[in-house]
Chains A and B, each alone.
Chain A
Amino acid sequence: MIVRTPVFLLIWLGICALVFAASIGLNNDYIFFAGYVVLQYVVLSTAWNILGGYCGYVNFGSAAFFALGAYSSVAIYRLVTENDLYGIPIPVLMLIGGVVSGVVGFGMGYLTLRLRGAFFAIATLALAVVLQTLVVNWDYVGGSRGAYIIRPEQIAPIGNYIRYLFLIMMLLAVAAITIARLIEHSRLGYGFASIRDDELAAEASGVPTLRLKLVATTISGALMGMAGAPFPYYIGYLQPSSTFGLDYAVNSIAMPLIGGTTGWVGPLIGALLLGSLQQIATVTISSAVNLLIVGCLLVFFVIIAPNGIVGLIHTYLQRKPEDFVGRRPVETEIPGQVP
């Protein structure tokens, strides 16, 4: 049975309302600080998965799209404060960040259309480096010194501003997984899957592969930019080296891989699991341990469960040799065969 999209959306909005109410009930603003980062990773890994998981194009430049969203907010913030304009609300900043990153995503897709596999990954990495260099040399957004954003203490009905940011990021996360799920069950999703499996055969089956890849890079980039747009308001001080940092690129690849890349559930599980682990490690051990955790888990999953947690569960549920439709065959049942 497939839940219809409006119902799916309502269920998730309900869950969000519960989570938000529970977080307020705990009366500890740290929950919102930590939760914001976890939710941000839900959006980033879901966005990465639309291109990386569905189409099979590994993007190492997630940080660049994220940073573009963040820096578009910084640029607008500066424009607004210098000209004594009325402040622009965060959702509008997110839309602008989404458009900027979406356009860059489209451009990246267009420039790298003929590249596949490792070459595409290297090109995205190069894009991140180029964009970082541009931002470092762009004085208007603070250059290498970084930029300060002074966020308001309170916002009207919600209270503390961090709660507001948390709420916004939660809604974006719901939007992201709804979009990912919609794609998955649509013609687009089948087209993406055919590109991932065999681009030549997809083209021969009538799939306009170049156009679909552009759609994927644009949606993926736009969502990452939207995730980045509120970031300056969260962090207060934005610096190119941290915004373009390896953490974002590695996390947004590792989380879907650990969760499972074939559906919207995988990145969600991966981001919730890894994001929470990282937040716990940050307060209990040290924030430097974060990437170590990611690295170890990634190695573990690549060896033990290459299809992620979702794949693991799927295999377990489908463990019926005579009618096997799971993601991995029961190879051990054939004696003497080397998998």
Chain B
Amino acid sequence: MSTVGAANTSSAAATDTLLQVDNLGKRFGGFVALENIVLSVAAGERVGLIGPNGSGKSTLVNCICGTLRNEQGTVYFGHRKLDGLNAHQRTHLGLARSFQLPRPFVSLTLADNIRIPLIYAVAARRGSHYAAHEIEERCYALLREVGLGDKARRLPRDLTQVEMRKLELARAMAAEPKLLIADEAMAGLTHSEIEDILSLLIRLNEQGVTIILIEHIMSAVMSFSRRLIVLVSGRKIADGMPDQVMRDPEVERAYLGQ
């Protein structure tokens, strides 16, 4: 691992650590997908997670969110050990994610898509349910926030690609997360659409939500992230300020070749 992030990591540890990944390892048969991943994310941070295809970004997200079980290491979320918890239990704790390929509930309207995390995740965390009209208001408010307010009664199949990604984000936001992991929320979008999503994420961060952005579009990652983590072949090779990380010889080698 490079040393560029050392100063930053220690400063992050000084503030309130929200997510702590210790020595995480994951294998698929003989293939080592992740090896000794160590990282920590402080509350309120905007972190970019990058790496070439197959470097283990999505696997890492899946291990953090409980979709996959890690064989090695531990994940802490707000000082709570997550090992052994199911994905939905982690969502209840305040860990939400959006999927790389949007996975809407196709038979439910947009408003009902948003309703699911509201009646399950948020209710479980609060210990009580929202009243019916409150749920309705929250659904519409969230859809308006991502710019889908006029399509609340539509089905996901009526949406365009960018709208589908916005719905994906809105559903993750509906879980009222402390940490939101956006897995390639901008793939395949035009420049202005990317701007849309970015400003949405920044607004969300300003409301106090910690965000980890996984992205291939470098301009988006660079403008969004305050810290950059680079994965290559299942190992973390850099962690630090974006411009410093991009100058790191090891990162350059991974991205541009020798």
CB atoms of B117 and A206 under 8 A apart? yes
Give 9 closest A-B pairs by Cβ, nearest first. A206-B121, A197-B105, A206-B120, A201-B103, A206-B91, A203-B87, A205-B117, A205-B116, A198-B103
> What residues make up the interface of A, taking CB atoms closer than 8 Å to B?
187, 190-191, 193-194, 196-198, 200-210, 262, 324-325, 329
CB atoms of A187 and B91 under 8 A apart? no
Q: Give the chain A neighbours of B108 by CB distance below 8 A.
A: 190, 193-194, 197
Q: How far is the CA of A324 from the CA of B157 in the complex (A)?
A: 11
CB atoms of A325 and B109 under 8 A apart? yes
> What residues make up the interface of B, taking CB atoms closer than 8 Å to A?
65-67, 86-89, 91-92, 96-97, 99, 103-109, 112, 115-117, 119-122, 124, 129, 153-155, 157-158, 171-172, 174-175
CB atoms of A206 and B88 under 8 A apart? yes
Q: How far is the CA of A200 from the CA of B87 in the complex (A)?
A: 9
CB atoms of B116 and A207 under 8 A apart? yes
Q: What would 8 A/B residue contacts be, using CB atoms closer than 8 Å?
A: A193-B107, A197-B105, A200-B87, A203-B88, A204-B88, A205-B91, A205-B117, A329-B157
The dominant DSSP class at the A interface is helix
CB atoms of B175 and A325 under 8 A apart? no
Residue of A nearest to B65 (CB): A204
CB distance from A283 to the nearest CB of B (A): 39
On whether A209 and B119 interact (CB within 8 A), knowing A196-B107, A200-B67, A262-B107, the answer reads no
On whether A208 and B88 interact (CB within 8 A), knowing A196-B107, A197-B107, A198-B103, the answer reads yes
Q: Give the chain A neighbours of B92 by CB distance below 8 A.
A: 206
CB distance from A1 to the nearest CB of B (A): 15
Q: Give the chain B neighbours of A206 by CB distance below 8 A.
A: 88, 91-92, 116-117, 120-122, 124, 175
Q: Give the chain A neighbours of B116 by CB distance below 8 A.
A: 190-191, 194, 202, 205-207
Q: How far is the CA of A262 from the CA of B106 in the complex (A)?
A: 13
Residue of A nearest to B89 (CB): A208
Q: Give the chain B neighbours of A209 by CB distance below 8 A.
A: 88
Most buried by B among A197, A201, A204: A204
CB atoms of A204 and B97 under 8 A apart? yes
CB atoms of A205 and B121 under 8 A apart? yes
